[in-house]
Structure 1
C-alpha cells in the first residue's frame, strides 16, 4: 500500500517496478517534446514545472534518483531538472521557460538558484497569490494584516534573490459578495495590490486567474472575476483599466531644446514619439525605454 511505499527508497521502488519507472519518464519526456513541436515557437512562454517547490523543500528532488516520491504521488526522479533540460533543448531560445509556485519562500528561491547552478535555463519566476476565501477580503477591508505592503515587499524581496524577473502568474481577489459593496471591496483591494506590485522592481507581469465569474475550477470562488458571468465589466475591471490604460501611460507634449532634445519623467515601456521636422513634415518613431535606458 501507500504506507509501505513511503518506507522504500527511490532505488528500491525502481527495482520493484522497473517498467513503470521507465515508462513514467518516457511519458513525461514525450509530453514536453509534443508541446514544443506542436507550437513550433508560436508561444511567448511556457510554465515548464508547476508547484514543485514543496518537493524541493522536502529534499525529494535528488540528482540520480530514478523516481520521486512526490507530494503529488510518484513522479520521475529529479523531474524539475530533467523537464527544464528537455524544454531548453526542444523549445526555441525566444520562448521563455518559467517555473511557477505558490510556495513564496526561501525554499522556492533556492530551488530556482539550484536549477540554474545545474545548467537549467530558467527565465521567469512565477509567483501565485490567491485570496480564494471571501472572508479574507472582508478582513482586508476591516484593516486586518493580510497581504499588507510589508508582507508583500518581504515576500518579493525573498523571491528577488533568485535574480529573475517575477511574474505574478496566478492572482485571485474575490468579491466577498455578489452585490455593490462586495464588488467595490474587490475593486479597492485590486487597485491597491496592483499599485503595490507595480512598484516591485523585478515585477514583469501580472495574470488574473479567473477573469469571468463562475468559470473557475471546481471549489474556486464564483465571484473572483473581472467580469460577471454575462461578461459585464465589474468595478475591479474599471479600476485596473484606469491604472493600466491611463495612470500608467505617459502622454505629454514637449518643446525641444536648442539641441533638439527633450526630457520627461515617464514609465518604462514602449513609446510612440511623433514630431514635426523643421521642414514641416510629420515624423513618427517607436522606442523602448527600459531599465538600462538612460535617455
Structure 2
C-alpha cells in the first residue's frame, strides 16, 4: 500500500535544517511591521487607543485551476465546486489553451455563451466567477506545444507567428487590464519538440518579445514541467534557457515550476525521492532565485492513489511539508494546486479512476464532492497557521506597532468611547504607515 512506504524519510532527515529555514523565511519574507498613529480631530495624539487587526486576505497568491467551473454533472456538484474553490483560493488558473480558445480558425471561445468543451470553461465565465469572489485570474498557456490548434499544425512558421500575434492582440484587448499574470510559454524546454514552430532556438525570446508588445504592463511568466526539480541536466538547461532569453532582450518577469507527482503507485517511492527531499527543493529554488525573479509553483499534484484513509492522510502530510518549504522561500510568490477534485483530470472520462491522470487521486476533494484531509490542510495553512489576528495599544504619542503576514486587514480603533474601522493593506513593497483620526 502507498501509505506503508516511507515517503517522509527525507523530511525527517532534514527536519532541523527545514524547520530553521521555514521559521526564519516566514518571519523575514512573509511578514512585516506596520506603524499606526492615532490622532483626534485636531491632530493631537490619542494615547491608550485599543487597536484590533484582523487579516482578511494574503498578498501571497494561492489557489487551484478553474477547469471544471460549471462542468460537473449536477447543479449541486457545481455549487459545491465553487464553494470549495473559493475556500482555498485568492488566485485561479484559467484555461487559455490555444486549441480550446480557437478550435477553428477565427472562431474563438472567450464569450460566456461559447460552445462547451470538457475541462475548458469559457474564459468570460471564469472571469465572472473570479471577479465576483475576489480571486485573481492567472492566464495559462499562451504558447504551449501540447495544445496547439489542429488547423495550424501544417502551417508555415511565418503563418503561425502571424496567428500568434493575432492571438496575443485578441487576448490583450479583452483581458490585459483584468489579468496581471500572463503565462507566455509552458513546457518549452521539456516539450518543444512537437511542431517545427516550437523548435526554433530563438522561439522563447520571440514569444516574450511578442507578448510584451501586447501586455506591456503585465507580469510575463515562463513555465516548465516539474522534472526540473530532479534532473540536473534539465534543471540547468531551463535555467540557461531563461538566462539566454533575457540576455537576448526578452522580458521574463517570473519563473514557473510544475510539481506533478505523476508516477505509478508501484514506482512512486523511488520516483519521488528527490521531489520529497527538502534539501533538494531548497537547492532548486535557490538556483532559480539567482535569476532575481519571482518563482511560481504553478501546478501541484500530490497523489493519494485511492480513497484509503491512510493514503489520504499521507497526501495531506506531504502537501503540508512541501507547501511550508515553498512559502518560506524568498522568491516564491504563488502556490497553485492543479485539479481540486478527483475524477476530472486530464486524459479520462469523468469518474473513470482507472484512466489518465485520474488514477493518481491527486485532488483535494473526492469525486463525491467531500473534502479530503489535504483540502483542510491547504486551507488551514493560509487561514490559520499563516494568519494574523493582533491587538495593540497606542503609547503616549498615539503610536503603535504590529507585525503580521502581508495582506489586507480590517483595523478597528477603540478610543474616546467610539469605534473607528479602516481597511488597510500591509505589503512587502508598501510604506505600511497608517494615520487614523478618531
Q: Choose the corresponding residue for 1:216, options 340, 345, 348.
A: 345
In structure 2, what is the equivalent of residue 20 of structure 1? 156
- 8 Å Cα contact 1:100-1:128 kept in structure 2: yes
With normalisation by structure 1, the TM-score equals 0.79
Deviation for aligned residue 1:136: 8.0
Task: Report matched runs for 1:129-278 at 5 Å.
Answer: 129-133=259-263, 135=265, 139=269, 146-218=275-347, 219-222=356-359, 223-278=361-416
In structure 2, what is the equivalent of residue 282 of structure 1? 420
Out of 152-161 and 262-271, give the one that drifted further: 262-271
In structure 1, what is the equivalent of residue 250 of structure 2? 120
What is the alpha-carbon distance in structure 2 between the residues aligned to residue 152 and residue 136 of structure 1?
23
Deviations 1:99-118 (A, max 9, x none): 10125322222222222223
Alignment of 1:39 with 2:175, yes or no, is: yes
- 8 Å Cα contact 1:273-1:284 kept in structure 2: yes
RMSD: 2.5
Deviations 1:1-60 (A, max 9, x none): xxxxxxxxxxxxxxxxxx8232232223222222222334222322111111348xxxxx
Q: Choose the corresponding residue for 1:85, options 181, 201, 209.
A: 209
| Partner SS state of residue 399, structure 2 | coil
Deviation for aligned residue 1:241: 1.3
What is the alpha-carbon distance in structure 2 between the residues aligned to residue 277 and residue 82 of structure 1?
59
What is the alpha-carbon distance in structure 1 between the residues aligned to residue 160 and residue 423 of structure 2?
52
Q: Choose the corresponding residue for 1:98, options 221, 225, 230.
A: 221
In structure 1, what is the equivalent of residue 103 of structure 2? none
With normalisation by structure 2, the TM-score equals 0.55
What is the alpha-carbon distance in structure 2 between the residues aligned to residue 40 and residue 292 of structure 1?
24
Distance 1:42 1:137, change over 3 A: farther
| Partner SS state of residue 322, structure 2 | helix
What is the alpha-carbon distance in structure 1 between the residues aligned to residue 196 and residue 324 of structure 2?
41
Unaligned runs of at least 5 residues, structure 2:
1-154, 229-234, 348-355, 434-438
In structure 1, what is the equivalent of residue 62 of structure 2? none
Which consecutive aligned stretches of 4+ in structure 1 deviate over 6 angstroms post-superposition? none
Out of 284-293 and 97-106, give the one that drifted further: 284-293
Deviation for aligned residue 1:172: 0.6
Unaligned runs of at least 5 residues, structure 1:
1-18, 56-69
- 8 Å Cα contact 2:205-2:246 kept in structure 1: no
What is the alpha-carbon distance in structure 1 between the residues aligned to residue 325 and residue 431 of structure 2?
23
Distance 1:253 1:135, change over 3 A: same
What is the alpha-carbon distance in structure 2 between the residues aligned to residue 99 and residue 201 of structure 1?
18
